[in-house]
Structure 1
Amino acid sequence: MTLTLTIDTVRWREHHRGVLDRFPGLVPVCKGNGYGFGHHRLMRETARLGIGLAAVGTVQEAALVQDAFPGDLLVLTPYRNGEAPLELSDGTVRVVSTPEHCDGLAGRRVVVELMSSMRRHGITEDDLPALRAVMGGWEFEGFSIHLPLNRVDGAGGAGEVASWMRRLRGARMPLHRVFVSHLSAEEMARLHAEFPRTSFRLRTGTKLWLGDPGATRYHSRVLDVVPPERGERFGAGRRQPLSGRSLAVVAGGTSHGVGLRAPRRLSGLRERARHVAGIGHACLNRHLSPFVWDGRRCRFAEPPRSQESVLLVPGDGPPPVAGDEVAVQLRYTITRPDRVVEEPRVPLDAFAVTGSAPERG
């Protein structure tokens, strides 16, 4: 019973080097589930690239990988007074997003997060006097700004960073290093040209680890195939299958991330119409699965279980047999495969999906 992530190692690493060439000083991000690859594998790849600073999401993640990574770790979650103590190495860099939460950071390495148009957390311009009063005891590493991924108002990310740079310069703040996110190589070049004395370092995970979707794939093993008799009921809900369909039991369930969806923001009439159509199918218990057989996505025969799923295989082609592999379209950021296999080259033609592109994390 296996849900597998296969990596075309040569192609994957070629992509890493290409991104690093476009973004010198890049800081790889490894958080959550390690973008589907796992924390330790991404830490090894970061070390292979010769990068001495990586970013993790939480202090728990820093404690998990600090013994396996020879470089420094930037913890992206802002520091808060009264945190449960953890044994973190001297190479740990903490983020401060408010002058009120700085207790216990004297002598520690600190990055200050600036409030961006995301309006999530960060120092505001009004906080700068209070910040100056407390930052003298730190080993100050620089500022950081997390920009929105989709700037729907047309505002440029580089312009937002430049605006903060001018305000910080006016307040006589040290500007030797600024960490940024979600900027293009052209935007980074404009910032370097306008502020040549500042080192701008891009933090990214998706662009680096998932930027070449052809370098990786998920696939699942068929555990069993049952051709139901006409009118025969099946499954925990005792539903009645459609005639001419086969039931395929495949590896991969909710514990792997199968069937999990996050809320998403809809824009445009076409996207809203597709969402409404999906609701209509759901009302008829016709839920599309991420599993692909013979170039077509199968529907769930019933809600996925913890470690396996039951599919309705389309009846107009040969059904799979036990032991076959089926492609799976999954979001990398929520998927936890049973195993990760590295290969020199991965043949992808057999996993092409008719009329559908793989969902990227």
Structure 2
Amino acid sequence: MALTLYVDTARWRAHHKSVVDQFPALIPVCKGNGYGFGHERLADEATRLGSDMLAVGTTYEAARIKDWFGGDLLVLTPYRVGEEPVPLPDRVIRSVSSVEGVRGLVGARVVIEVMSSMRRHGVTEDDLGKLQHAIEDVRLEGFAIHLPLDRADGSDAVEEVFTWMERLRGARLPLNTMFVSHLKPQEQAALQQQFPQTRFRARIGTRLWLGDHDATVYRGAVLDVTRIAKNERYGYRQQRAAGDGHLVVVAGGTSHGVGLEAPKAVHGVMPRAKGVARAGLATVNRNLSPFVWAGKQRWFAEPPHMQVSILFLPGDVAPPAVGDELVAHLRHTTTQFDRIVDR
């Protein structure tokens, strides 16, 4: 019995097509854990979409995925002088974010990242003059800009890209291809209209693979159900039961990513209040699990184990049977399934 990722395959792929239709020359992104689906599966799906290029996070990911995808591979993490060399085929394209990085990749295929309002990495406007000579020794595939998801200051994404395009044009750098991230379809279309000689290529991961939330669902199989009385001890730490009920052992533990949570940006009074309440409950060993039974997320009886979780169901809730499956609200990018089932 397992933690299973169920995929409504026809619906999932229909969503892929809708995104590809909105973004001409789209480059699928496959990084990390493959957005919960795994690198091999997403490489197959990218091939099915007819993609000529697949973006990956690191050189190590490129080395693993090169045998599963036959097109070009774009490594998104910028090259750093002195990094550990990883044997890669010529169809791998390296991102660079500094003049030194360009100079360190003589003969290689490169995409040069510019510094956006993300302030993460990229060449600056002051670097553009130095790039004129540096790009003579590489095979330049284009420039790239990685934009923020939110714009609290009301700034405009199109204006930011337009400004950089004008800077590059003013420095007499080639504008054949511009790789972009986090633009809306209408924004990319507006830029394409302003710069008809440039090919804009959107690098998209989350929106492509995870944009239709109802196309996938995680379910954990129930392995055991044990009746427990108030004050009876249980578990690794031998805590006392707060009341009569049942302990439900379900597939899915820390090795799957259950119980792990990435930090979130919180805005507004109500979300902050909920965060404070959750933190307070955690101090008295009350932690809400991602597993749902009888219409509610259920509490962990104790912290999840490596491959299973133990839930507590109060006595007034009829328990599931061994073999039933509980829906689990899990984040794809932090979850590792036991099996994937296409439906």
Verify same fold: TM over 0.5: yes
**What's the Cα RMSD here?**
1.1
Task: Identify unmatched segments of 5+ residues in structure 1.
Answer: 344-361
Contact 2:103 2:134 (8 Å CA) reproduced: no
Length, aligned pairs only: 343
User: Retained in 1: the 8 A contact 2:243–2:314?
Assistant: no
Task: Supply the AA of the counterpart residue of 1:213.
Answer: H
Cα shift at 1:333:
0.4
CA distance in 2, matches of 1:328, 1:263: 19
1:136 aligns with 2:128: no
Structure 1 residue 238 and structure 2 residue 233: aligned?
A: no
Q: Does 1:302 align with 2:302?
A: yes
Secondary structure class of the residue paired with 1:106: coil
After TM superposition, the structure 1 = structure 2 runs for residues 24-43 of structure 1, keeping only pairs within 5 Å, are 24-43=24-43
Moved more, 308-317 or 160-169: 308-317
Contact 2:114 2:124 in 1 (8 A): yes
Q: Is 1:115–1:121's contact at 8 Å kept on the other side of the alignment?
A: yes
| 1:61-114 C-alpha deviation (Å, 9 max, x unpaired) | 000011111100000000011222222111100011001223542221100000
Looking at structure 2, the residues matched to 315 and 143 of structure 1 have their Cα atoms a distance apart, in angstroms, of: 61
The percent of aligned pairs where both chains have the same amino acid is 56
Query: Which piece of structure 1 moves more, 82-91 or 11-20?
Result: 82-91
Q: Does 1:10 align with 2:40?
A: no
1:281 aligned to 2:265? Answer: no
Deviation at 1:158, TM superposition (A): 1.4
Q: How does 1:25-174 map to 2 (within 5 A)?
A: 25-174=25-174
SS at match of 1:77: coil
Which string of whole-angstrom CA distances, capped at 9 and with x for unpartnered residues, describes residues 233-259 of structure 1? Answer: 111111111223210011111110000
- Please tell me whether the aligned partners of residues 229 and 245 of structure 2 are also in contact (alpha carbons under 8 angstroms): no
SS at match of 1:290: strand
* Distance (whole Å) between structure 2 residues aligned to residue 263 and residue 81 of structure 1: 31
- In the alignment, the residues of structure 1 paired with residue 160 and residue 278 of structure 2 have an alpha-carbon distance, to the nearest angstrom, of 37
| Paired residue secondary structure (1:226) | strand
Q: Bigger CA drift: 98-107 or 187-196? A: 98-107
Q: How far does residue 321 in structure 1 lie from its aligned partner after superposition? A: 1.5
- Report if aligned partners of 1:298, 1:314 keep a CA contact under 8 Å in 2: no
Q: Does 1:215 align with 2:215?
A: yes
Q: Distance in 1 between matches of 2:182 and 2:238?
A: 48
SS at match of 2:211: coil
Counterpart contact for 1:36–1:333, Cα < 8 Å? yes
Would you say the 8 A contact 2:103–2:137 is kept in 1?
no
3-state SS of paired residue (1:311): strand
Rounded Cα–Cα distance in structure 2 between residues aligned with 1:18 and 1:314: 44
Stretch of structure 1 that moved more, 59-68 or 312-321: 312-321
Deviates more, 1:326-335 or 1:157-166: 157-166
Write the mapping of 1:189-200 to structure 2, written as runs, cut at 5 A: 189-200=189-200
Which whole-Å CA distance do the structure 2 matches of 1:315 and 1:54 have between them? 51
TM, length-normalised to structure 2: 0.98
Q: What is the TM-score when the length of structure 1 is the normalising length?
A: 0.93
Runs of 4+ with deviation above 2 angstroms: 101-104, 314-317
Matching residue of 2:250? 250
Distance 1:314 1:158 in 2: 54
Find the residue that maps to 1:100 and give its secondary structure: helix
| Stretch moving more, 138-147 or 226-235 | 226-235
Counterpart position of 1:201: 201
Distance 1:34 1:111 in 2: 22
Q: What is the one-letter code of the residue matched to 1:195?
A: F
Distance in 1 of aligned mates of 2:164 and 2:19: 26
Secondary structure of 1:192's counterpart equals helix
Corresponding residue SS for 1:131: helix
In the TM superposition, what is the alpha-carbon distance from 1:193 to its structure 2 partner? 1.1
8 Å CA contact 1:80, 1:102 repeated in 2: no
Question: One-letter code of the match for 1:54?
Answer: L
Mapped to 2, the partners of 1:154 and 1:270 lie a distance apart of 23
Could you tell me which runs of 5 or more consecutive residues in structure 2 were left unpaired when the two chains were aligned: none
Compared CA separation, residues 314 and 158, structure 1 to 2 (3 A): farther
Give the secondary structure class of the aligned counterpart of 2:101.
Answer: coil
Alpha carbons 1:25, 1:202 under 8 Å: kept: yes
| Contact preservation (8 Å) 1:81, 1:103 | no
CA distance in 1, matches of 2:324, 2:242: 23
Question: Is contact 1:93-1:111 (8 Å) kept?
Answer: yes
Match of 2:323 in 1: 323
Structure 1 distance, partners of 2:110, 2:66, is: 17
**8 Å contact kept, 2:219–2:328:** yes
Deviation at 1:157, TM superposition (A): 1.3
* 1:35-78 deviation digits (Å, cap 9, x = unpaired): 00000100000000111101000000000011111100000000
Letter in 1 for 2:318: P
In structure 1, how many angstroms separate the alpha carbons of the residues matched to 2:188 and 2:289?
40
Q: Identify the range of structure 1 (183-192 vs 234-243) with the bigger mean alpha-carbon deviation.
A: 234-243
Aligned-pair CA distance for 1:230: 2.8
Task: Between 76-85 and 120-129, report the one with greater CA deviation.
Answer: 76-85
